[in-house]
Amino acid sequence: MIDLSARVGDLELATPIVAASGTYGYGLEYDGLVDWSRLGGISVKGLSAEPSKGHPAPRMVETPAGMLNAIGLQNIGAEAFLRDKLPRLRTLGPRIIINCWGNTTEDFIRIVEGLEAAEGIDVLELNLSCPHKHEWGGVLAADAGVTAAVVSAVRSRTRRRLWVKLSPNVTDITEIARAAEAAGADALTVMNTVRGMVIDVEKRRPALANGSGGLSGPAIRPVAVYMVWQTVGAVTIPVVGAGGIISGHDAAEFLMAGAAACQVGTASLYDPAAPARIAGELAKVIASLGESRVRDLIGCARKAS
């Protein structure tokens, strides 16, 4: 038997595999399609204080070994989530991670304060790294000062565990990671999508109505593994790896780079059972290496380098 239990700080997970925000709805959409006991957590679709319509269509386009999206953080808003989604979500079993965002620091404070009294939320995950929010004037997590200001403001207003989702669209992710840690983050999610563009040759214009979008899928995995490697070496808080994971072998790479857990995103869009499947495959990888626990993999590549 392989021990798949994992920890991100003081948060215990049944497995190190978490469904990533933006690719798993509010979790409920996948009920009946996945073995919930194989998931460590669900990071819900990014919530804002008020409902958001997101960007106009077309908002998604397939790319070689991946996809490009510019959904624009469409969501139902905090009030509807707490009323219509959270009660049932609490019955599924995995840890509940609320990915949340705002257009200003005050907006971040509003959504966090609006969630504070709710029962059953295990983590708040601040999204400072969406690559296609025009209202931000750029990626928030590309600026260490802005990152620190938002995280600090939120930290002072919540008792919950606070993860911060970082961006690969930066010169030096370690600078941003240290700023988030110093401001009070309990863990870092590394990474969000890579900014990119696809041109529709027949129509002679960008394929996405938004123009640019975020690239995800297997094409970005080596970038994500390297970003995790860099971040783990720069901070003392846990790092959750994300980016292009489609198999247990892929998840093992992130763990060996030092990630405490992994988020699975794009794979869920074509395989609803992907997070549970990947957890099962990871167990086989661990066994094939002659180990018996997830923790035996974490950071082992760092020791060998």
For residues 17, 18, 24, 25, the Cα torsion angle rounded to the nearest 10 degrees is: 160
What pLDDT does residue 170 have?
A: 97
Give the helix ranges, DSSP H, for 28-172: 78-80, 86-89, 105-115, 144-155
Residue 300 annotated to the active site: no
What pLDDT does residue 92 have?
A: 97
Calculate ∠ Cα 115-116-121, nearest 5°. 70
CA–CA distance, 157 with 76 (Å, rounded to integer): 23
Exactly one of 100, 130, 262, 300 is catalytic; which is it? 130
Domain residue extents for the chain: 6-304
CA–CA distance, 165 with 257 (Å, rounded to integer): 18
Burial (0-12, 13-18, 19+ Cβ within 10 Å), 10? exposed
Enumerate residue ranges in the chain where pLDDT < 50. none
Give the helix ranges, DSSP H, for the chain: 78-80, 86-89, 105-115, 144-155, 173-183, 221-234, 248-256, 267-270, 274-288, 300-304
Query: 6-304 adopts what CATH topology?
Result: TIM Barrel (3.20.20)
Number of H helices, E strands in the chain: 10, 16
Structure tokens given for 81: 């989530």
What pLDDT does residue 134 have?
A: 87
What pLDDT does residue 224 have?
A: 98
What pLDDT does residue 304 have?
A: 80
